Amino acid sequence: MSTFRLWAPDAKTVSLVVADSAGDATHEMSAGRRGWWWANVPSAKHGTDYAFVLDGGTEELPDPRSVWQPAGVHGRSRLVDHSTFHWSDTSWRGIALAGSVLYELHVGTFTPEGTFDAAIGKLDHLAELGIDAVELLPVNAFPGHHGWGYDGVGLFAVHEPYGGPDGLKRFVDAAHARGIGVIMDVVYNHLGPDGNYLAQFGPYFTDRYITPWGPAVNLDAPGSDDVRAFILDSTLSWLRDFHCDGLRLDAVHAFQDSRAMHLLEEIAESVHRLGAQVRRPLFVVAESDLNDPKLVVAPEAGGYGLDGQWCDDAHHALWATLSGERQGYYIDFGSIETLAHALTKGFVHEGGYSTFRGRSHGRPMPPTTAAYRFVTFLQNHDQIGNRAVGDRSSAQLNDGLLRIGAALLLTSALTPMLFMGEEWGAHTPWQYFTDHTAPGLGDAVREGRRAEFAEHGWGPDDVPDPQDPATFERSKLDWSEPTRPGHGSLLDWHRRLIGLRRKLPALTDPAWSSVECPYDEQARWLVVRRGDVAIVVNLSSQRQAVPLDGVPFDAPAASAPGFTYMPGRVELDGESVVITRLLPPAG
């Protein structure tokens, strides 16, 4: 027997349509408390298709809490009994965010096939690289065959073209077998426009706030108790039912929540409570551009208690220094001084003036906050895909600068994250692609994209058409590249850096006080001192001696040969980096 439940507080009647061997059967649902409806169907079981009909209408609606949408976001839902999947990860004890190296990947473009099962075939590559956890771009159900996933509408369901719910479970199970955790990227600040039926069921949205995507998700207006429960249950489902190890919350600065207990605090509390129940660490990392320590400060100190947050400032400082780009939000970055600030404090904007925003921005992070709570990167899906042509850093930087970027990222006190293919300097772009079928939506996306970049001098024919299937195909990784000499050498460099992060305790020390960054803006050198380890960087094009406070006795990694080290300095070629260990001070 299966019990069906639906929250539809404004409905006068609700009918449940269930498919069985004799055809469709309609069951009238009973009204319960606070707008909840229910029905028991003895014949329904795992694999049974069903849908809801409101107020005697003719339109069948999928279940807002559906786990399986085999016919897409507009089709009938299918029951899932999670106990039918046989897990092999019973000995998996999880991973902690502290000390980890993350790897962001998009299932649809990670392999030629674009499925969970095909991605399993590449997990050994990630294990050999030294990755601790993969962060999957959203895999919840979205319209069409391919897309980034940020216009999803099924917050519990797994995108069918990727392999559906069992495909995700197979992937997580296989990752755990290789010692790799799985982080799920989830979007609760908005839903996509195509296949979004939530407003027909109840007050899931409110017009008291307006967001870039239209009315805001209802987090504090009448009816919001059950909307919040809907979101909280979704977060826990990815962790409990699919055995994921953590969540990445998209753009939490877009949450509009005036309640005394913010939704973010509720999410953190419920996730940590589940972690205690399953006896393995579960964590939550948020994307936010507010530069507000409140996200990761403990609730006892007035914060939300999240485990970490993305640190765009560190990315901007690193990218602007290496690439020389200064347009848009990069206008506040680019100096070596700013890079040193980011590597020693995380936030660059700590309450000072932001030229890009035309106002002051952010506030300082308490110095006792562990540095690993900041997740940063040289590349990610936004920083590549939101460029006009989706060009990666390998299209902008030479090999020397790519190696410097990798060294500064993977030896930093922050939690580093790579974007798929970055480890070998992939030449394939990662572009913005969609597969909208709703009338007019694809045209609107295409024209909006062109208009956005026209303001920056791009012609309409220069910006890839998101709706063109070729844009999606171009964005798939070329797995023959790692076997080629230049790519293979860069891949070895990443492996060596991650290996050093494991081997040298100073490189995972989470204390900001352990990081020092002397630099010379004019000579263009920087030294990142992490205890007894020094990362010596020459950003100039000329060979030079970089002064060093200490006596180096070993150089476990260098991006180019021909360096020399002696008491008080390291001499190295232009656009290269040497990682050296230092003797302890005498006495």
**CA–CA separation, 97 vs 310, rounded Å?**
12
pLDDT (mean) for 19-38: 93
pLDDT band with cut points at 50, 70 and 90 for residue 210 = confident
Q: Please tell me the predicted confidence (pLDDT) of residue 560.
A: 97
522 known ligand binder: no
Per-residue pLDDT reduced to its tens digit, 44-89: 999 999 999 999 999 999 999 999 999 999 999 999 999 999 999 9
Q: Please tell me the predicted confidence (pLDDT) of residue 533.
A: 98
Q: Which of 160, 287, 289, 481 is catalytic?
A: 287
pLDDT (mean) for 107-121: 98
Q: How many CB atoms lie within 10 A of CB 51?
A: 19
Cβ distance 18 to 50 under 8 Å?
Answer: yes
What's domain 516-583's architecture? Sandwich (2.60)
Residue 7 has φ and ψ, to the nearest 5°, of -95, 110
384 known ligand binder: yes
Which residues neighbour 339 within 8 Å (Cβ) at sequence distance 6 or greater? 317, 318, 321, 333, 408, 517, 519, 526
Q: How far is CA 509 from the centre of its chain?
A: 23
450 known ligand binder: no
Q: How many CB atoms lie within 10 A of CB 74?
A: 16
Per-residue pLDDT reduced to its tens digit, 429-463: 999 999 998 989 999 999 999 988 888 778 888 89
Q: Please tell me the predicted confidence (pLDDT) of residue 587.
A: 58
132 known ligand binder: no
383 known ligand binder: yes
Q: Please tell me the predicted confidence (pLDDT) of residue 165.
A: 98
Strands (E), 139-257: 140-141, 154-158, 181-186, 205-211, 214-217, 246-249
Cβ distance 441 to 447 under 8 Å?
Answer: no
Scan for tokens 């069903």, then name that residue.
50
Q: Please tell me the predicted confidence (pLDDT) of residue 21.
A: 78
Which residues neighbour 548 within 8 Å (Cβ) at sequence distance 6 or greater? 527, 534, 536, 565, 568, 569, 570, 580, 582
Query: Taking Cα atoms as reference points, which of 375, 357, 372 lies closest to residue 103?
Result: 375
Q: Please tell me the predicted confidence (pLDDT) of residue 380.
A: 98
Tell me whether the CATH fold assigned to 2-61 matches the one assigned to 516-583. yes
Q: Tokens representing 94?
A: 């999880």
pLDDT band with cut points at 50, 70 and 90 for residue 23 = confident
Q: Please tell me the predicted confidence (pLDDT) of residue 22.
A: 79
SS3 label, residue 106: coil
361 known ligand binder: no
- Are β-strands 14-20 and 49-54 bridged in parallel, bridged antiparallel, or unpaired? antiparallel
74 known ligand binder: no
pLDDT (mean) for 482-490: 96
- Predicted confidence (pLDDT) at residue 565 exceeds the cutoff of 80: yes
- Predicted confidence (pLDDT) at residue 474 exceeds the cutoff of 80: yes
Q: Which of 160, 173, 250, 481 is catalytic?
A: 250
Distance (Å) of CA 7 to CA 65, 204, 235? 10, 10, 18
Query: Taking Cα atoms as reference points, which of 181, 185, 218 lies closest to residue 199?
Result: 218
287 catalytic? Reply is yes
Cβ distance 37 to 5 under 8 Å?
Answer: yes
Query: Taking Cα atoms as reference points, which of 228, 234, 106, 78 lies closest to residue 166?
Result: 78
pLDDT (mean) for 7-26: 94
Q: Tokens representing 494?
A: 């990443």
253 known ligand binder: yes
Q: Tokens representing 79?
A: 């029951």
pLDDT (mean) for 259-263: 97
**CA–CA separation, 285 vs 291, rounded Å?**
14
220 catalytic? Reply is no
- Predicted confidence (pLDDT) at residue 586 exceeds the cutoff of 70: no
Q: Where are the domains of the chain?
A: 2-61, 102-192+227-436+468-503, 516-583
pTM for this prediction: 0.97
pLDDT (mean) for 100-122: 98
207 known ligand binder: no
SS3 label, residue 166: helix
248 known ligand binder: yes
pLDDT (mean) for 531-535: 97
Task: Using only the alpha carbons of the chain, give its radius of gyration.
Answer: 25
pLDDT (mean) for 143-168: 97
Q: Please tell me the predicted confidence (pLDDT) of residue 542.
A: 98
Report the mean per-residue pLDDT for the chain.
Answer: 96
Superfamily per CATH, domain 2-61:
Immunoglobulins (2.60.40.10)
- Predicted confidence (pLDDT) at residue 499 exceeds the cutoff of 70: yes
Edge-to-edge strand list for the sheet holding 544-547: 544-547, 569-572, 564-566
User: Percentage of the chain with pLDDT > 90?
Assistant: 95
- Is 102-192+227-436+468-503 in CATH node 3.20.20.80? yes
Distance (Å) of CA 429 to CA 105, 321, 346, 381, 459? 14, 22, 29, 11, 19
**CA–CA separation, 317 vs 330, rounded Å?**
8
